[in-house]
Amino acid sequence: MKNGRLIRENFQIERLMFNEGFQIEQTGTQIMVHSYYDTFDFLLYQQSYYLYEEDERFYLYNETEDTVYPIRETKKMPFYNSGHFENHRELLKKIIGNRALLPVLSLEIEICNFIMTNSDQKTVARIKQVKFQKLNEGETLIFVEQLKGYKKEVKMLEEALQPYLGGKISSLQQHFFTTKIAHFDYTTRINIKIKSRDTLDTVVCKILKFYLDVIQKNIHGILEDIDIEFLHDFRVGLRKTRSLLVMLKKEIDPWIYRDFKQRFKKIMQKTNNQRDIDVYLDEEDYFRSLVPPEYFEDLHSFFLHLKKGRKNELRKIRRHFNTKFFRETFMQWNDLISSENGPLLISEKAKMPVKEYASGKLKKLIKRLANQAQKIMDHEIPETVHDCRILCKQIRYISEIFAPLFSEGELKYFIAVIKKFQEFLGAYNDAHMQKAMISRYQENIRNGREGEALEQLVPALEKKQEDNYLKFIQTFEQNKGVILEFRRLIS
């Protein structure tokens, strides 16, 4: 009975009678409190993992394997994420990404331990009667652990218990279920069915509505500052909306196009600084690894400065999200994309099959990318690299949005290539921005050692920039054919 069974009210296991000298005796009672942590959308629970704290120590329980792994903390924080643990960090990161772990449930658990012994007083089975504070009164779970070599004896015990047992249950699942878990997908992974013959206006409105929903769902997490993923998903939702808007430029009323493009740009800009700082702070360990240990302290004040700056930026975001401009932008946008007659698209192309339209747009964008990449290969100018990165994002978003319209194999490979470009160009751009942030900060510092510590970072960032520039050029040269072939295929 690995996962435990419910047992009848007031059941006293010691009173079970056996032949052949078997007996059950109590060996002890423990009372403990387990505080469970999970992401707000229960990502661990969905993978059958439970992270709990007992006596200020953390444990990760895998229900499928029925195994508990002790995990060590590296630092104390009000909110935890995978980075705050010394071991099993990779596993946690894989499941929860950058999501914060929040306290979701606290249970007082009373465990009565028993052993079943044979006539030689040898233990043949261990029994646990577990009572959870939150279970309905009188309900207890019973767990039986068979000891190697005593299968027959445990079978006899289970038969004796049978008349008193209730249904099979996983206690933790029961509790998490009653915690009213509602799983929402807050990311921009699109899940809308699109067919080639659907008209452009219907599809576009559905997709824009989906992104608006994602944007709005993430606002609460940004304001509460639960973790950095809320802002990231909010921005991706906004950027994908803008990408579609740009794609549909000629099909939309010019006034609406200009107005909303500007509004979205303004909202995006208000969140730029915080996102840049988030990326910096997320790589704190990496930056520390770049300087000799004697500079750790000095680097520390730089990161403190960033954290302080982040607080200011968050304050600005909160103020901005509370403005009439912000509220009305999304209200009006919602009206525009919700109208059944689709006043958003006014050109005659609104009724054209979506596949035809999307293919044409993608073809143009791919051609632009080829030209832009050539420019970068001729001269490494950070602004051009930035433009190329934005173009890659746009191509990737549009490919992903309209993915169901194209052959899966070809598109998958194409998207993977574009993603690689984006990754290298993104790392290049991050390093560029981080260098700029350091030089801005250096202008105001008085401590010479802190300046020296930051100086140590600059060559590493320059190298990162150069490496990613070279990687991009190399990958582009290698995959030029793939891109052009995809362009030919979608014609």
121 vs 312, beta carbon nearer another protein: 121
1 vs 236, beta carbon nearer another protein: 1
CA dist list (Å): 287 to 274, 279, 291, 443, 448: 18, 12, 7, 20, 19
Q: How far is the CB of 147 from another protein (least distance, A)?
A: 4
Q: How far is the CB of 150 from another protein (least distance, A)?
A: 7
Q: How far is the CB of 277 from another protein (least distance, A)?
A: 44
Q: Is 474 exposed, middle or buried (0-12, 13-18, 19+ CB in 10 A)?
A: exposed
* Phi and psi, residue 81, nearest 5°: -145, 180
146 vs 394, beta carbon nearer another protein: 146
CA dist list (Å): 204 to 40, 173, 234: 30, 40, 19
CA dist list (Å): 199 to 335, 343, 348: 20, 14, 11
CA 391-397-403 angle, to 5 degrees, is 130
148 vs 446, beta carbon nearer another protein: 148
Report the run of H or E that residue 331 belongs to, with start and end. helix 324-338
151 vs 220, beta carbon nearer another protein: 151
Distance from chain centroid for Cα 68: 24
Q: Is 126 exposed, middle or buried (0-12, 13-18, 19+ CB in 10 A)?
A: middle
Residue type for 127, please? Answer: I
42 vs 150, beta carbon nearer another protein: 150
Q: How far is the CB of 114 from another protein (least distance, A)?
A: 13
Q: How far is the CB of 354 from another protein (least distance, A)?
A: 58
Q: 46 with 183: CB under 8 angstroms?
A: yes
What distance in Å separates the CA atoms of residue 208 and residue 332, rounded to the nearest whole number?
13
Q: 236 with 276: CB under 8 angstroms?
A: no
Q: How far is the CB of 121 from another protein (least distance, A)?
A: 6
Structure tokens at 466: 């150069």
What distance in Å separates the CA atoms of residue 470 and residue 396, rounded to the nearest whole number?
21
154 vs 299, beta carbon nearer another protein: 154
Which residue matches tokens 């044409």? 360
Q: How far is the CB of 7 from another protein (least distance, A)?
A: 24
Q: How far is the CB of 27 from another protein (least distance, A)?
A: 10
What distance in Å separates the CA atoms of residue 276 and residue 280, rounded to the nearest whole number?
6
21 vs 138, beta carbon nearer another protein: 21
Q: How far is the CB of 186 from another protein (least distance, A)?
A: 41
- Find residue 7's DSSP bridge partners: 140, 165
148 vs 379, beta carbon nearer another protein: 148
Tally of CB atoms within 10 A around 152:
10
Which residues form the interface with another protein (CB under 8 A)?
115, 120-123, 147-150
Q: How far is the CB of 118 from another protein (least distance, A)?
A: 8
Distance from chain centroid for Cα 84: 16
Task: Cite the beta strand spans of 332-399 per DSSP E.
Answer: none
126 vs 449, beta carbon nearer another protein: 126
Q: 42 with 177: CB under 8 angstroms?
A: no
Q: How far is the CB of 152 from another protein (least distance, A)?
A: 10
Structure tokens at 14: 């010691």
1 vs 115, beta carbon nearer another protein: 115
